[in-house]
Structures are given as structure tokens and as C-alpha cells.
Amino acid sequence: MDAVRVRFAPSPTGYLHIGGARTALYDWLLARKTGGQFILRIEDTDRNRFVPDAVDDIKASLRWMGLTWDEGPEAGGTAGPYFQSERLDLYQKYAEELVQAGKAYYCFCSPERLAEMRKKQEEAKAASGYDRHCRELSPEEIEEHRAAGEPYVIRFKVPRTGKTKVRDELRGEMVFDHGTLDDFVILKSDGYPTYHLASVVDDHLMGISHVIRGEEWIISLPRHFLLYEAFGWQPPTFVHLPIFLSPDGKGKLSKRHGATGVREFKEKGYLPEALVNFLLLLGWHPSTDEEVFTLEEAAEAFSVERISTSPVSFSLDKLDWYNGIYLRRLSHEELAQRCLPFLQKDGLLPDPCPPERFAYLVRLMPLIQERIKLLSEISQAVGYFLQEEIEPPEPALIIGKKGTPEETVTILQETVAVIEALTDFGEENLEQTLRALADRLALKPGRVFMPIRVAVTGQAATPGLFELLAALGKQKVLNRLQQAITVLRKG
RNA sequence: GGUCCCAUCGUCUAGGGGUUAGGACACCGCCCUUUCACGGCGGCGGCAGGGGUUCGAAUCCCCUUGGGACUACCA
């Protein structure tokens, strides 16, 4: 088998979309699995929809996911340039070649005429498509138009009869009748190629062995096969990935359905490991029941044959679960590192963060690692440790469902007393002391612990009380206990 | 409208002639427990419908239905 060369070819018309990210992932995986090359090619042939910082976002998002490319922007390579806008002469040359060979022709139809034609077709409920108006122009007529400086496009001359047999690796052979195909544009009037021409020319010139792309392209497959045939080139293997449907089941996934850009997932606090794993299983399945894969493990297990063909509803619930899995796999140091930007954004830690404060953050990680599922939840989880003071909690929250204000004040006062006497503020000693206190007051441990918890954290759901108190430190604990007592007395 | 693709729990899916139709997420219950999580155990829940083929269809074929894609000088 020839060397595997796959390419991810996004169009810089927006930020890297989650669907594109999956395509890139499968590309990368196939290259890795086979020891082949992963190429990044920027398809910037639409000058109207071009978004200036889209290329940067695409590169950054790919890198964030760990999908580095062997050839492409910044990486270089011998098959470049990797921006289609820098290959215009190539497309023009090949388009012209087709014209010379009588397989394509100049078309001088104005956008207005085309719009009019389309309108009529719609009204007549006829099949849509170019009416081949310029297909049989005589050389003289063509010269006349060109001499007049009229803009033109180059259209591919689809055979009037016959069928084209195409092949998708997952779906097998499909046959398209030429009668359903129109003479599509391959070179636009601004000298830029359309996707059809550019991708075929580049895939051939770059030695691409497998084209992995979204299912929305399968309808264009016959055009691409026709182009390969016209050039006398061998088509690559095509793999069309199932489309992502919106979670509500209405149409394909789009911006209206919440986060669809890779960067948005990053900002929401998802780990790239989780996103990658989630995307991996959306359209691909191993032969085992395994569900958790690192990028390397996935590269080992991946195979094109196990990609599915049915449309995928893009529902996020499993992503949260994956995020939890990978969050818990991180070392405390690493977790802290990843949480840091979120805490800085919320003003809970300075930027840059002094080493001692970072060390304290690392110290807190074991307390919250099992309790957050998004990095963005870190501020809520750890805020009361990092802030000197907390808002006085609501009396009702301190007292709890079953307690009385009087009893709660007593509990808190007794707690202050025993804690003040403590010299060893370690977890174990704290537990011993407070359990003994509950015993002495003849109360259930929970009855004693809950008011303390709320008093020092302001929250009812927190890490274990003793580890939390130890991490907070004696002074803060005492201050907040006092504050709670004051609040209860006033209320 | 035309062309094409797709069809197993709510979701992602395994299963490709003989299975009590398997797993994961979500949901519910129980256990663990100072709260919340984590974890463990259990439960709920599915082959779109109709015809064939076959001794036997979730599995193969056809039709219907449903969903989706495309229908640009966008990709």
C-alpha cells in the first residue's frame, strides 16, 4: 500500500467548528495509525466570506486538541504552498487545460441571467441547474465576449448522457446519472477556483491517499470523479463522515444550538482530552466496550472501517462525564495549572500568580478534584479558600432544616471554644476534637458539622469538613465562626 | 420538486441469519457517608411499519414511513 497522506482542509470562514474538529481528529488518527502524513491545507478561495483571524483560531484549536500537522502552515513541506490563495496559477492552468481539451468552457452568463433562470426553474418545479447556455458558443462568439472584456467563469462540461460510478469507502458504490448533474463552475470570474477544482487539483498534487470529509460532500462526489477522469488522475479513497445533527433533531448542528466552536468548549472549562475522546466515539466505535481513550490509545485502536454512516445527534451529556474522568486523572499540580486561568479571570488569584499562592492552590486540589466537572467551576469550588472573608451566610442555611437558632448558636460557640484551644490544626486532630464535641453535646455528628460547614464556607455542599478546616487555617475558621454567631444573634 | 445518504434504548452505539438484543451517558433506587461529589450495586428503557426470502430474521431483499444532506461564480 502506498503511503497514507491525509489532509484536513478547513475554509477560514469562521472558527474551528466541532464537526471540523472531528474530521481533523480522524485524519490525524489515520495518519498516526498508519505512520502516514497529516497535512493542514487552508482552503481560502472564498474572498467574500474570509474571516481574518480564522486561520489562527483553527491552528490554535487544533494544537489545543493535540492534533499537530506534519505539513502545512508553519510546518512547511514539499507539497506547498498550503494556502490555496497562493496556488491560483495552478488552478488557472488546469482549468485552461480542460478548456483546451474540450472538457470545459467559458461561460459569460451574468449573475442576473442565472438568477432569472433559477427563478423560472423553481416556478416550473423543474430540476435546477445551469442550462448550458454557453456550452456551444462558437470560437468567434467567445472571442467577441472576451474582446469586450466581459467577465467569465469556466464550467466543466458534464457528458450529456451516461452515468458516473463513484465509491465511498464506508457506503460502497453509488451511481449518479449525468442527467442530474449540471455544468458546474470550476473557475470563478475573479480567477479563484471553486472547491471542486481546487480540492481535486490539490489532493492530486499533494499526493493525498484518503479524503476524509463530511457527508454533505457525497452529493458532489460524481463531479469530483468526473474531474479526476478528465485529468486522467487516480481518485483517492473517499471517506464521508456522518453529519452532526442538532440535539433537538432539527437539521444539522449550527451556531444556534449552543457551543459549536472548539474555542467555546475550551472557554467553558472542558479539557481537550475529554473533547477528543467525546468526538472520537461520535461516529466511530472500537471492537471492544472500551470508552476511554487518550489520543495515543485512539491512534492505536482506530480504523476507518469502524466509522459509522448514520447521522449523529450532537448531544453533550456524555462530554461532561468524560471531562470528569480526565479531570480526576490529572495530578494536583497539573489540575491547578489548568484551573489557574479561570481563577485569574474571576479575580481570585493575581496574574502572574506568586509561587506560594500557587502552592496553596495545589494543596486545595485533592479537596475539589472529585467535585468539579468543568474547570470553570473552580472559582465557586475554591473561592472561600482564596478570599480573606466571605459573605455572611443566610441564618436559615446555617441552622439547617432540623435545627433551632438557639441550639445552633450553642454549637458554634462550643466549636469556637474547642478550636481556640487547638494547637494541632491537622485533619485528624480536628476530626477527633469535633467528634468528641458532638458526643459531649449528645448530638449526632451531622447536626454539629453542618452549621460549621456553612459558617466557614457559606455553602451547604463542600469537601469533607476536616480537610476543609485544616486547609482553611485556624484564624479564618475562627473569624467565620464568629461572623456566623453574630449573624444568628441578629436574626 | 429533483438527486443522494441514513434508520437498534432519550443520546452515543455493539451486534451483519439461531443472543434472555450487550455496553456507555443521562435518569431512578440502594449502599458508602458529616454535606456534596467520587465509587459500588441494581433498575427503567430499544430493533420505525408492512411485505417477502428462510426451518429461523434486529441481521438479507422490496415497499412505506421518518430523518438528513445537496440543489451558489460557499465550502
d(CA A212, CA A229): 20
User: What is the distance in angstroms measured between the alpha-carbon CA of A245 and the sugar C1' of B68?
Assistant: 8
Contact A324, A28 (CB under 8 A): no
User: What is the distance in angstroms measured between the alpha-carbon CA of A261 and the sugar C1' of B75?
Assistant: 17
Predicted pLDDT at A469: 98
> What mean pLDDT do residues A307-316 have?
93
Please write the tens of the pLDDT for every residue from A164-217.
999 999 999 999 999 999 999 999 999 999 999 999 999 999 999 999 999 999
Residue A255 is a catalytic residue: yes
Strand B bases with any atom < 7 A from protein Cβ: 1-8, 10-15, 22-26, 34-39, 67-75
Nearest nucleotide (CA of A151 to C1'): B73
User: What is the distance in angstroms measured between the alpha-carbon CA of A115 and the sugar C1' of B69?
Assistant: 23
Please write the tens of the pLDDT for every residue from A359-410.
999 999 999 999 999 999 999 999 999 999 999 999 999 999 888 999 999 9
User: What is the distance in angstroms measured between the alpha-carbon CA of A43 and the sugar C1' of B46?
Assistant: 42
Q: Which residue has the closest alpha carbon to B66 C1'?
A: A249
User: What is the distance in angstroms measured between the alpha-carbon CA of A319 and the sugar C1' of B27?
Assistant: 16
Please write the tens of the pLDDT for every residue from A320-345.
999 999 999 999 999 999 999 999 99
Q: Among candidates A293, A256, A262, A267, which has minimal Cα distance to A278?
A: A293
Q: Which residue has the closest alpha carbon to B22 C1'?
A: A289
Nearest nucleotide (CA of A240 to C1'): B5
Q: Which residue has the closest alpha carbon to B69 C1'?
A: A216
Mean pLDDT of all residues in chain A?
95
Sort residue A470 into left (φ over 0), alpha (ψ -120 to 50) or beta: alpha
User: What is the distance in angstroms measured between the alpha-carbon CA of A309 and the sugar C1' of B60?
Assistant: 19
Q: Is the pLDDT of residue A473 over 90?
A: yes
Predicted pLDDT at A126: 78
Predicted pLDDT at A340: 98
Q: Which residue has the closest alpha carbon to B34 C1'?
A: A446
Contact A339, A385 (CB under 8 A): no
> What mean pLDDT do residues A478-483 have?
97
Q: Is the pLDDT of residue A357 over 90?
A: yes
Please write the tens of the pLDDT for every residue from A98-122.
999 999 999 999 999 999 898 888 8
Please write the tens of the pLDDT for every residue from A395-404.
999 999 888 9
d(CA A281, CA A377): 26
> What mean pLDDT do residues A154-166 have?
95
Go through A200-236 and write b for each residue having 16 or more CB atoms within 10 A of its CB, e for each that does not.
bbbbbebebbbbbbbbebbebbbbbbbbbebbeeebb
Q: Is the pLDDT of residue A49 over 90?
A: yes
Identify which has the larger pLDDT, A249 or A340: A340
Nearest nucleotide (CA of A246 to C1'): B68
High-pLDDT (> 90) share of chain A, %: 90
Nearest nucleotide (CA of A371 to C1'): B37
Q: Which residue has the closest alpha carbon to B25 C1'?
A: A318
Nearest nucleotide (CA of A129 to C1'): B71
Q: Which residue has the closest alpha carbon to B8 C1'?
A: A310
User: What is the distance in angstroms measured between the alpha-carbon CA of A176 and the sugar C1' of B63?
Assistant: 22
User: What is the distance in angstroms measured between the alpha-carbon CA of A81 and the sugar C1' of B7?
Assistant: 43
Predicted pLDDT at A427: 95
Q: Is the pLDDT of residue A464 over 60?
A: yes
C-alpha distances in Å from residue A262, one per residue of A17, A63, A213: 6, 11, 18
Which pTM value belongs to this model?
A: 0.94
Nearest nucleotide (CA of A180 to C1'): B3
Predicted pLDDT at A251: 81
User: What is the distance in angstroms measured between the alpha-carbon CA of A335 and the sugar C1' of B35?
Assistant: 24
Asked whether the CA dihedral A242, A243, A247, A248 is positive or negative, the reply is negative
Q: Which residue has the closest alpha carbon to B27 C1'?
A: A317
Instruction: Exactly one of A255, A345, A402, A444 is catalytic; name it.
Output: A255
Nearest nucleotide (CA of A284 to C1'): B13
> What mean pLDDT do residues A10-16 have?
95
Q: Among candidates A66, A19, A23, which has minimal Cα distance to A41?
A: A23
Predicted pLDDT at A1: 52
**CA atoms in the 13 A half-sphere facing the CB of A342:** 22
Q: Name the pLDDT band for A80 (thresholds 50, 70, 90).
A: confident
